[in-house]
Structure 1
């Protein structure tokens, strides 16, 4: 099954109706989820709060804000995301973020920013703590002392990790904790190699690789043309280098590209980041997605009510084992 998601990012906006309108448009196209980026260095409203506002105005689309783990307490992360899952009736996810700059650390009166390895170690600790919080008390906990907060509707909100530029540290976090992994690649062959590597790493940590969805993140500029002069995937222009792979062309050619890469088994789907959110998202939904639907390559409606159902992911079983320890890898990560 082809999975499609879209980023709502763009210039800072403080009008909540802007994000609601975009999310509704994505929902009309039966996309799996929308994302909204965030960091302590970014101007603009809090992504998790924005999507909590969007939740009651939508019915099916998944809502995935970036949540920074570096300077945030795990209990706060878990509670806020559980709240989003309840408000949206099971459509919450989160993209694991880290704060790598000295300016962000200074906002909290902390020492200079930690090395990358330490940042991702902290991210793993927060992800693991959040999962324990959502799963409930250990099976050997005393009934008199064990807290009994209600589990989120999905059991656990969907965890997304973008491994672009993170090296082995981010890959390890994704392999151990992610439900969805975002990658960037200039070719189908490179994307397929990254997908294979992520699945192999997850297997080494004792996970079922079929419980992972690997999506290619793709910056999309549909411009004013219906067809690209040279359709296909291009290396990112210098101004877009931080965003990774870059597509410039028309919605018809984009549909062909997505279909070819998915049919080749390169990825499980795509996370599209429109250059101009209103213009390009409208063309993605009413052009690219409509064409994929017409060719029976993408669904015409959401298969269920939760984000996990959209992605074909199981609901985690609640109640932690008495000895709740991280699973050791079966081999040394390479």
Structure 2
């Protein structure tokens, strides 16, 4: 479990996302020092996709991480990886991507699949895409690009590699045409609510989002994530686990209503909901983190402008005053915000016989 408190927020809006409003909300979250913001997406929703919106606002922000939802189950993993890597470059190392699958039959048909696959199949394919995504991104080793004055920029052939991947639903064999993105691999985020999604999160995610209405439930999900991470051969310490909560701070500084705040969030169809004031929310965040059941929280404002402003100016300010949350960004990349190292290049292991993929 990470010793630092991590906080993230959604910048979702009713209806299609508005770029100007998303930028305003992202800058507000950045002022509070939050690790990252998320923007949800759906193939059935009109308007620009989340990846495009966050790519457009990246130059307006300087430090906060940008994590769009990307539906991977029916997309080509190389194209998905290239698009997220482009966000990582334009943001100078602040990109992540939230893996998702089509939620309805209509969305699946928009992706070309009739009828929709079972959730187990969709998440197995999404997991394959998440695992395969690192391969094409490791086509060029760090330092492989050169810039001769006469010919321009090209890679060192000894340090460039083909992607050669075979998965259940797809296979990839192609040369990489671009260098690694700044973070090596952009941060992978998975909502572990569904059991199949939990398995994908435990094996591939850098950040797992979970829903819980009390510390005991959160501890149970945390333990399952850790156990499956170990079973997949990874160190559970490399996985950040955040509780995802809807927050309604419309009551200002008033005490949380019964069933909220100190009594725990209330379950709703959209997920656990906290309704109360910023101070009580700070108490909840402090208590759950002190119990060790979570590395932090992913907070989803019910009223985007109002609740995010009260979150930053009230809850976050109080946590900073208590020394529980950062007052400035010590690094520049999303991985640095999360306390995660930059992944080694899979071909960077040198032996007497040349370069071989890292284990």
TM-score normalised according to structure 1 size: 0.90
Question: Is 2:180 the partner of 1:151?
Answer: yes
Contact (CA 8 Å) 2:140, 2:160: kept in 1 or not?
Answer: no
How many residues are matched? 318
Q: Counterparts of 2:304 and 2:119 in 1: how far apart (Å)? A: 31
Q: Counterparts of 1:62 and 1:318 in 2: how far apart (Å)? A: 22
1:79-118 to structure 2, matched below 5 A, reads 79-118=82-121
How big is each residue's C-alpha offset from its partner over 1:285-334, in whole Å with a ceiling of 9 and x where there is no partner?
00000011111111101120000000000100013478869x9xxxxxxx
Q: Counterparts of 1:163 and 1:92 in 2: how far apart (Å)? A: 20
Q: Secondary structure at the match of 2:116?
A: coil
How big is each residue's C-alpha offset from its partner over 1:9-45, in whole Å with a ceiling of 9 and x where there is no partner?
1202453111000000000000000000012123332
Q: Counterparts of 1:5 and 1:14 in 2: how far apart (Å)? A: 18
Q: Which residue of 2 aligns with 1:236?
A: 267
Give the one of 282, 285, 291 matched to 2:312.
Answer: 285
* 5+ residue gaps, structure 2: 142-156, 162-174, 350-354
1:50-65 to structure 2, matched below 5 A, reads 50-65=53-68
TM-align CA RMSD: 2.0
Give the one of 194, 197, 201 matched to 1:170.
Answer: 197
Higher relative contact order (CA 8 A, sep 6+): 1
Q: Counterparts of 2:219 and 2:345 in 1: how far apart (Å)? A: 33
Question: Is 2:10 the partner of 1:7?
Answer: yes
Contact (CA 8 Å) 1:136, 1:318: kept in 2 or not?
Answer: no
* 5+ residue gaps, structure 1: 328-334
Residues 40, 324 of structure 1: alpha-carbon distance in 2 compared, 3 angstrom cutoff: farther
Contact (CA 8 Å) 2:211, 2:218: kept in 1 or not?
Answer: yes
Give the one of 225, 228, 231 matched to 1:201.
Answer: 228
Give the one of 267, 289, 302 matched to 1:262.
Answer: 289
Q: Which residue of 2 aligns with 1:123?
A: 126
TM-score normalised according to structure 2 size: 0.84
Contact (CA 8 Å) 2:245, 2:273: kept in 1 or not?
Answer: yes
The Cα of 1:143 is off from its aligned counterpart by: 3.7
